[in-house]
C-alpha cells in the first residue's frame, strides 16, 4: 500500500491512471445524475408540509455536503504536502479550492431559495449553519487569493496548506451547529439510520445524487490536476513524449 501510494504520487503515473479512469467516471456520473434527478423530481412523493418546493433539496443538500467534503480533502492534501512534500498532494489541494468554493456558493444560493418560502426570509444572520457555511466560502476564497498573492509558489502552497488546516475547525461547527445551537435548520434526518426521518422514496434519490456529486468533483479534480501537472512538468521528458511537439516553446 505504501509503495502504491508513492507510485500514484508520481506525476507520470497519475497522468496515465487518471486518463484511463476519466471516461468511466464520466459515464457513471452521468447515469447517476439522470437516475437521481428522475427519482427526486418525479418518483419521490411531494412533502406533506413543503409540497414540491422540497425538491431543491436534491441539489442543495449534496452541494452542502460537498462543500465540507472538498475542504476536508483540501486540508488532508495540505497536511500530506507539508509532511511528505508530495507534489501531487499540493496540486490536489490547490485544484480543489475553486471546486469547493463553487459547491459552497451553490449550497448558499439554493439554501436561500429554499429558505424564502419555508422561513419567510432569504437570509438569517442568527442561524449558525448559514453563517458558518458563509465563513467556509470565505475560507475557500482566502485560499485562492493567498496562493495568487504570493509570487513564490512553493511558499504560497505552504501558506495555503497551513490556512487550510487552521480553517478545518469550521467543519464540525457547520455539521453540529443544528445540534449545539438553536437554528432555523432542522436536525439530522439522513444520518438517523436506526429511525430515519425521511421517506425512503425521498432518501434513495438523495443518496444517489450525493454519489453523483462526489463523482463530479472527482472528474473536475482530475481534469484540473492533469492540466496543472502538465504545466508544472512541461519541461520534463515524459510530458514531451506524451504531447509530442505541443510542448515546444
Long-range contacts for 68-72 (Cβ within 8 Å, ≥24 apart)?
68/136, 68/171, 68/174, 68/175, 69/214, 69/217, 70/96, 70/99, 70/100, 70/103, 70/217, 71/100, 71/136, 71/139, 71/140, 71/164, 71/167, 71/168, 71/170, 71/171, 72/168, 72/171
Domain residue ranges of the chain, discontinuous segments joined by +:
23-43+54-191+200-244
H-state helical runs in 150-236: 153-167, 170-180, 200-232
- The pLDDT tens digits for 122-143 are 888 878 889 999 999 999 999 9
Low-confidence residues of the chain, pLDDT below 50? 192-193, 247-249
Query: What was the pLDDT predicted at 249?
Result: 44
pTM comes to 0.89
pLDDT of residue 1: 52
pLDDT of residue 195: 56
Query: What's the pLDDT at 119?
Result: 80
Amino acid at each position: 500500500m505504501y509503495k502504491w501510494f508513492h507510485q500514484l504520487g508520481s506525476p507520470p503515473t497519475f497522468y496515465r491512471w487518471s486518463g484511463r479512469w476519466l471516461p468511466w467516471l464520466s459515464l457513471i456520473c452521468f447515469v447517476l445524475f439522470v437516475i437521481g434527478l428522475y427519482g427526486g423530481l418525479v418518483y419521490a412523493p411531494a412533502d406533506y408540509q413543503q409540497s414540491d418546493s422540497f425538491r431543491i433539496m436534491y441539489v442543495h443538500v449534496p452541494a452542502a455536503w460537498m462543500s465540507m467534503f472538498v475542504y476536508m480533502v483540501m486540508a488532508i492534501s495540505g497536511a500530506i504536502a507539508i509532511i511528505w512534500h508530495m507534489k501531487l498532494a499540493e496540486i490536489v489541494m490547490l485544484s480543489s479550492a475553486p471546486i469547493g468554493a463553487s459547491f459552497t456558493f451553490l449550497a448558499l444560493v439554493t439554501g436561500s431559495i429554499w429558505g424564502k418560502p419555508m422561513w419567510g426570509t432569504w437570509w438569517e444572520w442568527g442561524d449558525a449553519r448559514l453563517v458558518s457555511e458563509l465563513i467556509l466560502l470565505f475560507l475557500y476564497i482566502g485560499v485562492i487569493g493567498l496562493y495568487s498573492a504570493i509570487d513564490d509558489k512553493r511558499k504560497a502552497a505552504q501558506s495555503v496548506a497551513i490556512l487550510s488546516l487552521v480553517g478545518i475547525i469550521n467543519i464540525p461547527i457547520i455539521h453540529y451547529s443544528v445540534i449545539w445551537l438553536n437554528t432555523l435548520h432542522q436536525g439530522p434526518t439522513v444520518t438517523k439510520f436506526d429511525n430515519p426521518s425521511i421517506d425512503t422514496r425521498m432518501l434513495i434519490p438523495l443518496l444517489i445524487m450525493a454519489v453523483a456529486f462526489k463523482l463530479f468533483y472527482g472528474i473536475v479534480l482530475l481534469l484540473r490536476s492533469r492540466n496543472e501537472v502538465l504545466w508544472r512538468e512541461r519541461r520534463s521528458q515524459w510530458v514531451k513524449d506524451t504531447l509530442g511537439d505541443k510542448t515546444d516553446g
